[in-house]
Structure 1
Amino acid sequence: MFAAAAVAAGVMSGIGAGSAAAADPIMTGKALLGDPTAPDGSKIAKAEYRDDRNIRLYVYSAAMDQKVQIDVQRPADASVPRPTLYLLNGAGGGQDAASWQARTDALQFLSDKNVNVVQPVGGKWSYYTDWIKDDPELGRNKWKTFFTEELPPLIDGALGANGVNAIAGLSTSGTTVLALPIAKPGLYKAAAAFSGCAQTSDPVGSQFVKLTVETWGGGDTENMWGPVGSADWVANDPYVHADGLRGLDLYISSGNGLPGPHDTLDNQYGPPGAFGLANQLLIGGVIEAGTNYCTHNLQNRLNQLGIPATFDFQPNGTHSWGYWRDQLPKSWPTLAHGLGL
């Protein structure tokens, strides 16, 4: 563990004197508010002050025996305890160039909101779930434990958050942000899932998982949940356990895979060049058509269970950042309601 003085000593230079940070005891005092430890011994190993609104934490996860980078944007007004939005990246875990920070203006949109924005960096190709075995390629993954048991008490204690949480994610994390509230009832008050597939254990959903973990990530899904169709595949399926979403503020969206306004050459949110556009249209089109199928199924499931949710089915659009960038502001009223803002 580190003391507040040690954190202050390690502060990076260049702290601004912005008006928003002036009311923030962490940014003005250059020290976290506490040195908490999670029940299993997880702790904050290091903190870096990056500018007048942003901190980078390195959190030691006891479950995974590794340090995880956590990027935090502080609330516009942090003079009183504020809620927390956990903003998850896609399949690459933010370890690649495909992240909210690198590909969108999400932090700028959230900069005037009274919310701690927490972005974990790590867990590529893991589906942010607890794996039953270590994987030769992807290592030890206990992300469900990290997000439900380890990280929240550290964020609340060190940043003075008020314990009210929401979670949002895209693509593979669009599955995760539905699975985690089911795994830990009451931890999250709202969830926004963009272009995710809630069903993981049926033939279609399991192929999505295998494509991500094995084809792209080089891992083995048997180390994740065992053989396809086994009990762990079903246990981690938000569609099967959708009743656990009752009481959350829910926002769920998908395109249909057909070209839309962001599927143009050198779009500012897309990959560059003709090859990048072709990849977005072909691969992104197929993936989004699949998530559209899953999302309609989830809508039917929630309707059957009498669970209200806001669904946004775009008339066109592929599996790509321009559409997720558009969806975050559209989902904000739902997230804000759950956060009490």
Structure 2
Amino acid sequence: MPRFTSRPLAAAVLAGILTPAIIAPHAAAVDYGMDPDVVQNPADTPNRPETSGSGPSMLTQGSSDGTVTEGLINDYRPQTVNPMFPEGRDHLPTADIDMDPEVLARLAEYAKVDGDRIRQINAYSPSMGRTIPLVWIVPQDLSEPRPIVYALGGGDGGQGRDNWITRSDMVDFYSEKNIHVILPMLGAYSYYSDWLEENPDQGGKQMWETFLTHELPGPLEAELGADGTRSLIGMSMSGTTALLYATHQPGFYDSVASLSGCGDTNSWLGRRGVASTIYNGNGTPEMMWGAPNSDYSRYQDAVINAGRLAEQPNLYVYAASGLPGDLDFLGPNAPADDGAWDDRRGPGFYIEAASNLCAHRLKQATDARGIDTVYYDFATTGTHSWDAWNNALREFWPIQARGFGIDGGSVTPGLDGEEAPWVGSSDSSRYTDLFGPSSEIYGGSTAPALSSRLDDPSLSSQSSVPDGSSDSSGSSGSSGSSD
């Protein structure tokens, strides 16, 4: 029975993940701003408004979308049908795959694409009308079908120098285990979501979920000779994505890891966090998911729809406290100067702390629904940084291996244990914060009871949820954001 554990992990540098490129049967070679001699990072959006300040103050700025600062979210009904595709996507076309494209200079430099161990693949997305470059970490042995991991980037889509390839040992880790790894490019500030509106500053149409869950897997896995099992890993911004995909199509991935993400997106603070991330690409929550409380906005909230996670096997949710730990001082990516240390103890702290609150909100929701199959991993130390995520990758591996049908060793005892090693994390009074315990309404579906309402006798610890089930209050309650 998976539980949760806390232990001193620790961490290194702030969000990011791989690099991009482009060419395909549908387009001539185009670098889309990917030439490292011309553009430092293609995620550095042109004409982006200046922002100032750091820490929690960033949650009050950085977006032209007024809905993120107006009132409270007040609709917590589950929304399990996709309003954009109520009949599903089976009728839509799939991707065209180019296994031998011209390698872009940026991918060669920043993602270490060498044409051997790390290669570039291009996939044309019909829904976005453009070619998406993929980085492929190749298994050592291709003599038989192998599992596949889709690893997503952080806020900048991994398009800079800090990414899974440069800041972790993902290449050796999976290549030696004979696992395919695919890292899609050009998803900066997109949440890898299907947007209601186009974002010209990020390439036009943003239909990432359609691309990654419908257009790409079939054709790509056929080209690779994959074995039919797949896993999804997201960190920071895409840690949210991983939770959303798991609630939208539980079981599509045989295992899912959400590292330092936030599934509490339709809450006031969660939506504020989303806004502060996609602002960097000149986007707004309205452009992406519409008005708060709308059907589509509620569909994009993993906490509201937590009941669906009962159907997702091998789900691992990691979040640390944000407090610096040993790896923040001694890890391979530990800060090398004062500026890097300021990033670690500033954004590295408050982004991870907010992610931790989000993860507890999700645990509260799954606890309230009697879902005990999620592996929650709450580290007592660790900032929003690469060494922490690299450690979490190893914690996830035995769980991930189960999804692949192979022996990955034993799961960390605390994750499988009957007793939580850190008493208090599931105490409903521990995280009352400014929104109060969310379990007060709908048994943990993120309803933000304000402090002024905490003494309201009409609020009980057990209430009927809209889907007809009855949930009792579970673990801690708080809301937060993630980049």
Tell me which interval the TM-score lies in, with the shorter structure as reference length.
0.7 to 0.9
Residue 175, structure 1, aligned to residue 228, structure 2: no
Give the corresponding residue for 2:286.
222
Decide which of 257, 277, 288 is 2:322's aligned counterpart: 257
Give the corresponding residue for 1:95.
159
In structure 2, distance between residues paired with 1:76 and 1:244: 36
Residue 72, structure 1, aligned to residue 163, structure 2: no
Decide which of 210, 217, 221 is 2:275's aligned counterpart: 210
- Worse-superposed segment, 48-57 or 158-167: 48-57
Contact 2:329 2:335 in 1 (8 A): no
Give the corresponding residue for 2:221.
156
Contact 1:270 1:320 in 2 (8 A): no
In structure 1, distance between residues paired with 2:244 and 2:181: 20
Give the corresponding residue for 2:310.
246
Give the corresponding residue for 2:93.
40
**Structure 2 runs not aligned, ≥5 long:** 1-23, 26-90, 102-112, 407-483
Shift of residue 261 of structure 1? Answer: 1.6
In structure 2, distance between residues paired with 1:211 and 1:228: 16
In structure 2, distance between residues paired with 1:319 and 1:229: 29
Give the corresponding residue for 2:199.
135
Q: What one-letter code is carried by the residue in structure 1 that aligns with 2:177?
A: K
In structure 1, distance between residues paired with 2:391 and 2:250: 29
In structure 1, distance between residues paired with 2:151 and 2:182: 6
Secondary structure of the corresponding residue to residue 376 of structure 2: strand
Q: What value does the CA root-mean-square deviation take over the aligned residues?
A: 2.0
Residue 292 and residue 124 in structure 1: after superposition, are their counterparts in 2 closer, same or farther (change >3 A)? same
Residue 235 and residue 95 in structure 1: after superposition, are their counterparts in 2 closer, same or farther (change >3 A)? same
Shift of residue 147 of structure 1? Answer: 0.9
What are the superposed Cα offsets for residues 136-167 of structure 1, whole Å, 9 maximum, x if unpaired?
Answer: 32232100101110110122111111221110
Give the corresponding residue for 1:86.
150
**Structure 1 runs not aligned, ≥5 long:** 3-37
Secondary structure of the corresponding residue to residue 360 of structure 2: helix
Shift of residue 241 of structure 1? Answer: 1.3
Give the corresponding residue for 2:369.
305
Secondary structure of the corresponding residue to residue 275 of structure 1: helix
Aligned residues: 304
In structure 1, distance between residues paired with 2:286 and 2:360: 28
In structure 2, distance between residues paired with 1:318 and 1:41: 39
Residue 108 and residue 220 in structure 1: after superposition, are their counterparts in 2 closer, same or farther (change >3 A)? same
In structure 1, distance between residues paired with 2:335 and 2:190: 23
Give the corresponding residue for 2:392.
327
In structure 1, distance between residues paired with 2:257 and 2:394: 11
Give the corresponding residue for 1:274.
338
Secondary structure of the corresponding residue to residue 143 of structure 2: coil
Contact 2:266 2:297 in 1 (8 A): yes
> For residues 2-21 of structure 1, what are the structure 2 equivalents within 5 Å?
none
The normalised TM-score by structure 2 is: 0.60
Give the corresponding residue for 2:357.
293
- Please identify the structure whose Cα radius of gyration is greater: 2
Structure in which a larger fraction of residues adopt helix: 1
Secondary structure of the corresponding residue to residue 315 of structure 2: strand
Decide which of 230, 233, 247 is 2:297's aligned counterpart: 233
Shift of residue 41 of structure 1? Answer: 4.6
Contact 1:92 1:98 in 2 (8 A): no
What are the superposed Cα offsets for residues 301-336 of structure 1, whole Å, 9 maximum, x if unpaired?
Answer: 222223211111111111111101111011101111
Contact 1:130 1:142 in 2 (8 A): yes
Decide which of 134, 137, 144 is 2:209's aligned counterpart: 144
Secondary structure of the corresponding residue to residue 83 of structure 1: strand
Q: What one-letter code is carried by the residue in structure 1 that aligns with 2:386?
A: W
Secondary structure of the corresponding residue to residue 47 of structure 1: coil
In structure 2, distance between residues paired with 1:236 and 1:271: 35
Residue 60 and residue 270 in structure 1: after superposition, are their counterparts in 2 closer, same or farther (change >3 A)? farther
Contact 2:271 2:285 in 1 (8 A): no
> For residues 50-69 of structure 1, what are the structure 2 equivalents within 5 Å?
50-69=114-133
- Worse-superposed segment, 251-260 or 44-53: 44-53
Contact 1:135 1:220 in 2 (8 A): no
Q: What one-letter code is carried by the residue in structure 1 that aligns with 2:184?
A: P
Shift of residue 236 of structure 1? Answer: 0.9
In structure 2, distance between residues paired with 1:338 and 1:40: 28
In structure 2, distance between residues paired with 1:79 and 1:234: 45
Contact 2:324 2:349 in 1 (8 A): yes
Contact 2:94 2:216 in 1 (8 A): no
Contact 1:90 1:98 in 2 (8 A): no
Residue 98 and residue 271 in structure 1: after superposition, are their counterparts in 2 closer, same or farther (change >3 A)? farther
Contact 2:292 2:298 in 1 (8 A): no
Shift of residue 271 of structure 1? Answer: 5.2
Shift of residue 287 of structure 1? Answer: 0.7
Contact 2:94 2:219 in 1 (8 A): no
Residue 330 and residue 185 in structure 1: after superposition, are their counterparts in 2 closer, same or farther (change >3 A)? closer
In structure 1, distance between residues paired with 2:251 and 2:381: 35
Decide which of 252, 264, 267 is 1:199's aligned counterpart: 264
Shift of residue 182 of structure 1? Answer: 2.6
Shift of residue 81 of structure 1? Answer: 1.2
In structure 1, distance between residues paired with 2:162 and 2:366: 31
Q: What one-letter code is carried by the residue in structure 1 that aligns with 2:289?
A: W
Secondary structure of the corresponding residue to residue 95 of structure 1: coil
In structure 2, distance between residues paired with 1:111 and 1:274: 35
Contact 1:56 1:70 in 2 (8 A): yes
Q: What one-letter code is carried by the residue in structure 2 that aligns with 1:50?
A: D
Residue 42 and residue 155 in structure 1: after superposition, are their counterparts in 2 closer, same or farther (change >3 A)? closer
The normalised TM-score by structure 1 is: 0.84
Residue 270 and residue 127 in structure 1: after superposition, are their counterparts in 2 closer, same or farther (change >3 A)? farther
